[in-house]
Amino acid sequence: MAVIGAVLVVAFVAAQTCQKSSIRLDKGQAIAKAEAQVGFTPKRTQIRLLRQGITSKPYWMVSLSRPGERPGTFSKLAVFRINANTGKLQRVR
């Protein structure tokens, strides 16, 4: 009985860990979620999937911008960190 109980506990912990690190929000959904948060129409969009933290949680890093008058500058810039598992907006700059 103890061995079966231990196997069930290990299976439960593994299932919870895998579920927290899965990617449920795709690239297009992350961009749409970020665009809904800004008050301008972006001309440039950059997106990357990064895993951060000890548990390697997946995050979409989305950058939306409009170029400025001078090269290498922006008239508008917004950077979002979106949890790729839950879709929750984590940080905005």
CATH number at residue 46: 3.10.450
**Residue 14 banded pLDDT, cuts 50, 70, 90:** low
| Number of domains making up the chain | 1
Q: How many other CB atoms are there within 10 angstroms of residue 90's CB atom?
A: 14
Tell me the average pLDDT across 2-26: 72
Give the whole-angstrom CA distance, residue 40 versus residue 4. Answer: 57
26 φψ region: left (φ > 0), alpha (ψ -120 to 50), beta (else): beta
pLDDT of 5:
78
pLDDT of 7:
78
pLDDT of 17:
58
pLDDT of 12:
65
Domain span at 9? 2-92
pLDDT of 22:
77
Question: Which alpha helices (H) appear in 1-57, and where do they start and end?
Answer: 2-20, 27-35
- Is 31 a residue whose pLDDT tops 70? yes
Q: What is the pTM of this model?
A: 0.73
- Chain CA centroid to CA 66, Å: 22
